[in-house]
Amino acid sequence: MKVVIVGGGFCGSILAKKLDREDQFKTLLIDHDGRYEYYPSLPKLLSEPSLKEKITLDHSSFLSEIEIIKEGVKKITSESVKTENRSIDFDRLVLCFGADYPIRLGNKNNVHKVTSIRSVYQARKALVDSDHILIIGGGLIGVETAAEIAEELNKNITLVHPHERLLERNPIEASEYAERFLKDRGVNILFDDKVVENHGAFMTEKGKEVDSDMAIWAAGLSFRGSLLSGFGDDVFSDRWGLKVDDTLKLRGHDDIYVGGDITSLDEEKTGHNADVHGKRIYKNLKRESRGKEPKKYTKSNAPMIISLGRKDGIMLFEGKILTGGFPAVVKKLLEIGAVQRLRF
């Protein structure tokens, strides 16, 4: 069975690792950068760029049998994946190329993202010479980025969030704790508003002008749906993402699996959940190779940890919340473990 994996993040890497020495599969991994990045720690790179060596791992360092294709994907159809230099057919396709935060401003000058090693390094270059920083979005990435800059760097920070509280998808206790943490460190927060223009200064929808040297965009999760060609509208979620059935197959396509942040599943977009997707897809591929039906995906309960600098954080699990130093320690251990599980 020829398996093509598009995307080498959490889902793609753990799946590739498991398929690496399986003789019944011919597996190809397509990833433009050719490396795994532990993206929950990306905000830390803004103040500690040397951390890169601890949170990245070349795919070639833990995959010995799988063909790794370091090319960008141009088009995905129901029959093939077209990259910059080739067209690749498949028996089974796994789409796990991750979500993104597209910058929804006409003028993107001095607007950066914290979604990959490359984007963080670009943001850091601007950050070093900037005094006034604008964070656009107060969800998970926005809060963690603001906290990292506030705690580790001497900068003036304004955060603009379109909702009435930070981390609005989480319990109000988490929102209040994050807000206190940021405000205690001088972060100015504008709630119930959003940045809509960039013309030297940044303008909000309510007409407020935010004078900033640079901005970091952390609003509006999306994915590169334009890569998919020839698929019906019924595979795309009304909000965003790809619809999957209960075995993680793309709706209406028996030979295509979907995992990670680009699924439209009603669950948090976390590295843990992407890992679980990869493991379920692996088991289903094994079952199919033996002529058996794939099994249903079952959501997994795991703590969600929000970093607030290096020594503070928020842990959420089954309706309970824990704050302070312990979540920060757990987050560090998860960071170490996420890389080590691939290396060994």
Write the pLDDT tens digit of every residue in 289-321.
999 999 999 988 888 999 999 999 999 998 899
Which structure tokens are listed for 205? 């929808």
Among 173, 204, 219, identify where a domain stops: 219
Same domain as 6, residue 37? yes
Work out how many domains the chain is built from and give that number. 2
Report which residue type is found at 295.
K
Same domain as 179, residue 121? yes
230 assigned to some structural domain: yes
Q: What's the CATH number where 261 sits?
A: 3.50.50.60
Same domain as 274, residue 203? no
256 assigned to some structural domain: yes
Cβ proximity of 77 and 89 under 8 Å: no
41 assigned to some structural domain: yes
DSSP per-residue letters across 47-82: T-GGGHHHHEEEGGGT-SSSEEE---EEEE-SSEEE
Among 197, 219, 241, identify where a domain stops: 219
Cβ proximity of 30 and 311 under 8 Å: no
Instruction: Give the E-state strand segments of 146-303 in sequence order.
Output: 156-160, 188-190, 195-199, 201-204, 209-210, 214-217, 256-258
The model carries a pTM of 0.94
* d(C-alpha 169, C-alpha 26), whole Å: 41
196 assigned to some structural domain: yes
Residue 310's closest CA among 152, 120, 187? Answer: 152
pLDDT tens per residue across all 344 residues of the chain: 999 999 999 999 999 999 998 999 999 999 999 999 999 999 999 999 999 999 999 999 999 999 999 999 999 999 999 999 999 999 999 999 998 889 999 999 999 999 999 999 999 999 999 999 999 999 999 999 999 999 999 899 999 999 999 999 999 999 999 999 999 999 999 999 999 999 989 999 999 999 899 999 999 888 888 899 999 999 999 777 999 999 999 999 999 999 999 999 988 889 999 999 999 999 999 999 999 999 999 988 888 999 999 999 999 998 899 999 999 999 999 999 999 989 88
At residue 200, the pLDDT reads 81
Rounded to the nearest integer, the mean pLDDT of the chain is: 95
Same domain as 34, residue 132? no
The residue segments making up the domain with residue 211 are 112-219
